[in-house]
Amino acid sequence: MSSQYAIKDLERLSGIKAHTLRIWEQRYGILKPERTDTNIRYYTADDLKRILNISLLNNNGFKISKIAKLPDEEIIRHAQSILNNYSKESDQIDNLVLCMMEMNEAKFEKIISNCIIHFGFENTIEKIVFPFMRQIGNMWQVGLVNPAQEHFISHLVRQKIIVGIDGLFPEPLTNPKTFLLYLPSNELHELGLLYCHFLIKSKGHKCLYLGQSVPFDDIVSVSDVAPADVIVTTFTNRMEGIGTQEYLNNLSKSFANSQIMVSGRVFFDGNEQIELPKNVILFESHEQFKNVLHSVNFAFNAYKPN
């Protein structure tokens, strides 16, 4: 990550409007920007860490006039005290941003482990990790995160979800259903799908997890060996050589005896009009996915041909 930040970068990372930061800077002197040789103002990594801590205090009831009078070590102490209380999930997101900036795996592990203890695994993933990952995505788009940092964090998150899956020992169901989970060709972002695996297994169902970038013919061949009651997949990017609608139609026809659950950005960005075949359910969030799993109206056999 760059060691020089514009005020707009601080706004994106802290959530504090640039206009507010300028007022705080002028009125309270909480930031003292450096200047380039061409007299352009910029902020350092230390400035960013300071404003993240100030944001945390301000969001937890500290008035900016009081914060401005505190020495840096007191700001850090108060911020750490709030983080150590684990009273709000959202407080930990900025803490994870600092872990990414520092490429600090040990700190990341400690934060996530403590969050799981205080908030539970599902709340940690849904209310801390995934919002954090969305923030990373926004940062990547504006050049505040490089691919190495994104891969570093994604790898750590992936490990945590896999550990969570391995640690599940649910009560066996008398009639468990078989779920097949995969990403289509050239789809690589699997964290959301991995979490679906966790949710499915936690309910006692069977999972066939195939992972990233699986060719369509391979899905068909796997299902020939182990037929799936439910297929789960996501579409983040437009497909090469075939439209999403055509792919979805082929999927529906090839697995007419299965319920198909789909999600992904292509269904919600408004760039492509997609009509769902009759055996396809669209979900936008993991909360919706859980609702479907919990619903007594989710009839796995509703689409079996007569």
230's tokens: 């439910």
Instruction: Say yes or no: 32 and 126 in one domain.
Output: no
Question: Which whole number is the average pLDDT over 283-293?
Answer: 91
Confidence grade of residue 302 (pLDDT, cut at 50, 70, 90): very low
> Is 101 found in the same domain as 62?
no
Structural domain containing residue 107: 90-167
pLDDT tens digits, 29-45: 999 999 988 989 999 98
User: What CATH number did the domain enclosing 29 receive?
Assistant: 1.10.1660.10
Q: Are 180 and 210 in contact (CB under 8 A)?
A: yes
Instruction: Give dist(CA 151, CA 140) in Å, integer.
Output: 11
Give the least confident one: 10-14, 29-33, 154-158, 295-299.
295-299
User: Of 253, 179, 189, which Cα lies nearest the Cα of 216?
Assistant: 253
pLDDT value at 71 more than 60:
yes
**Which residue in this structure is represented by tokens 């970068």?**
9
Q: Is the pLDDT of residue 105 over 70?
A: yes
Q: Which of 76, 148, 152 is nearest to 109 (CA)?
A: 152
Instruction: Supply the pLDDT for residue 298.
Output: 53
Same domain, 236 and 155: no
Q: Note whether residue 302 is domain-resident.
A: no
SS3 state at 103 = coil
Per the structure block, which two tokens stand in for 125? Answer: 């993933």
2: pLDDT confidence band, cut at 50, 70 and 90?
Answer: low
Average pLDDT, the chain: 90
Sequence-distant (6+) residues with CB within 8 A of 80 are none
Q: Give domain status of residue 303, yes or no.
A: no
Q: How high is the pLDDT of residue 272?
A: 82
Please tell me the total count of domains within the chain.
3
Ranges 32-41, 241-250, 297-306: which has the least confidence: 297-306
| CA 151 – CA 52 distance, rounded (Å) | 23
Write out the two tokens for 181: 């989970």
- Residue-wise pLDDT for 219-245, tens only, equals 999 988 999 999 999 999 888 889 999
* Integer-rounded Cα radius of gyration of the chain: 23
For 123-151, the pLDDT digits (tens) are 999 999 999 999 888 888 778 888 888 89
Structural domain contains residue 299: no
Task: Read off the CATH number of the domain in which 154 is found.
Answer: 1.10.1240.10
The residue among 102, 134, 167 that closes a domain is 167
Give the Cα separation of 160 and 265 in Å (integer): 24
Residue 274 dihedral angles phi and psi, to the nearest 5°: -125, 130
For residue 260, give the CATH number of its domain. 3.40.50.280
Q: How confident is the model at residue 303 (pLDDT cuts 50, 70, 90)?
A: very low
**What pLDDT score does 159 carry?**
96
**Does one domain contain both 190 and 262?**
yes
SS3 251: helix
Alpha helices in the chain (DSSP H): 7-14, 18-28, 45-59, 64-67, 72-85, 91-102, 105-119, 121-124, 130-141, 147-166, 191-202, 216-225, 244-254, 286-294
